[in-house]
Amino acid sequence: MASGELTSTAYITHHLTNLTFGKHPENGWGFAHGGQEAAEMGFWAIHVDTMLWSVGLGLFFIWLFRKVAVAATSGVPGSLQNFIETIIEFVDDNVNSIFHHKNALIAPLSLTIFVWIFLMNLMDLVPVDWVPYAFQQMGVEYMKIVPTTDVNATLGMAFAVFGLIIYYSIKVKGLGGFFGELAFQPLGKWMLPFNLFLEIVGLLAKPISLALRLFGNMYAGEMIFILIALMPFWAQWLLSVPWAIFHILVITLQAFIFMVLTIVYLAMSHDHH
């Protein structure tokens, strides 16, 4: 077990703790030394590792796709160009089959969501001790490398989508049309309070479900990898390889679900009731 003299509980706690920077009520600005101190820093504390890996993977996505786009050829394409074109066609097919309106933002947004979330999820396949151990040698106490196991990251993406839903609902239908759908559907104007309750709950459920579905699945996957790492060496190899192969499906599926639901919700925001 790579956790040294740590107990199992301490090992799990360590691997599930983010590198947090904020202002502590007693110690002032700095990095938290444990989950309790991070909680005491309050709402405005920043999970530095989540920001580092999510932004870094986003920049890698931009660099890779730009590199392929600049070098693209109409002749016999290379394997990387083939792979990228397959992803783009896959996303484009999903957008065309779900979104039947004119909006130049939807396809690139969907591509960004799918690839970015996939890359963040993919970090879950890196052995759980490698990166934290490397950073500990540099004096960094905590380092979580899977941004989607942080509910702050998944909620951030979900509320960005929610903002687009509200924006396009008002832009396409007008302010009156948007509030009219909330107030008068599905049971007519005589049931206005009940309509408002149903529609507002349904509206708020969209970002919450987007965020918690992605977070819950990735957090559970990370937890299983950590539990496997606590086992004897032979058991780690026996269990980690099959779980990693299965988890590749989970990683891809969660990115796909987030992308598809985003397309569906934005299509609904363009539809008139």
Q: What is the DSSP string of the chain?
A: -TTTT--HHHHHHHHT---EEEEETTTEEEE-SSHHHHHHT-TT-EEHHHHHHHHHHHHHHHHHHHHHHHH--SSS--HHHHHHHHHHHHHHHHHHHH--S--TTHHHHHHHHHHHHHHHHHGGGS-TTHHHHHHHHTT-------GGGSHHHHHHHHHHHHHHHHHHHHHHHHHHHHHHHHHHTTT-GGGHHHHHHHHHHHHHHHHHHHHHHHHHHHHHHHHHHHHHHTS-HHHHHHHHHHHHHHHHHHHHHHHHHHHHHHHHHHHHHHS--
What confidence tens digit (pLDDT) does each residue in 220-239 have?
Answer: 999 999 999 999 988 998 99
Average pLDDT over residues 183-210: 84
Specify the range with the lowest mean pLDDT, choosing from 167-171, 180-184, 199-203, 235-239.
180-184
For residue 201, count CB atoms less than 10 angstroms from its CB and return exposed for 0-12, middle for 13-18, buried for 19 or more.
exposed
pLDDT band per the 50, 70, 90 thresholds, residue 197: confident
Distance (Å, whole) CA 24 – CA 28: 5
Give residue 5's pLDDT.
60
Q: Does 4 score more than 70 pLDDT? A: no
Give the rounded percent of residues in the chain with a pLDDT score beyond 90.
82
Q: Does 1 score more than 60 pLDDT? A: no
**Better-scored residue on pLDDT, 209 or 184:** 209
Report yes or no on 16 lying in a domain: no
Give residue 104's pLDDT.
95
For 184, phi then psi, to 5°, come to -110, -5
Distance (Å, whole) CA 212 – CA 111: 21
Average pLDDT over residues 185-211: 85
Could you tell me the two tokens for 2?
Answer: 């790579």
Report yes or no on 195 lying in a domain: yes
Name the pTM for this structure.
Answer: 0.93
Contact 98, 260 (CB under 8 A): yes
Report yes or no on 99 lying in a domain: yes
Q: How many domains does the chain have?
A: 1
Contact 258, 218 (CB under 8 A): no
pLDDT band per the 50, 70, 90 thresholds, residue 2: very low
Average pLDDT over residues 33-61: 96
Q: Is 217 a catalytic residue?
A: yes
Give residue 273's pLDDT.
66
Report yes or no on 94 lying in a domain: yes
Given 54, 110, 217, 269, the catalytic residue = 217
What confidence tens digit (pLDDT) does each residue in 109-168 have?
Answer: 999 999 999 999 999 999 999 999 999 999 999 999 999 999 999 999 999 999 999 999
Report yes or no on 97 lying in a domain: yes
Report yes or no on 248 lying in a domain: yes
The amino acid at 84: I
Cβ neighbour number for residue 71 with a 10 Å cutoff: 11
What confidence tens digit (pLDDT) does each residue in 7-23 have?
Answer: 899 999 999 999 999 99
Contact 30, 24 (CB under 8 A): yes
Average of per-residue pLDDT values in the chain? 93
Report yes or no on 135 lying in a domain: no
What confidence tens digit (pLDDT) does each residue in 64-91 have?
Answer: 999 999 998 877 888 999 999 999 999 9
Average pLDDT over residues 247-268: 97
Which residue range forms the structural domain that includes residue 105? 58-128+147-270
Report yes or no on 40 lying in a domain: no
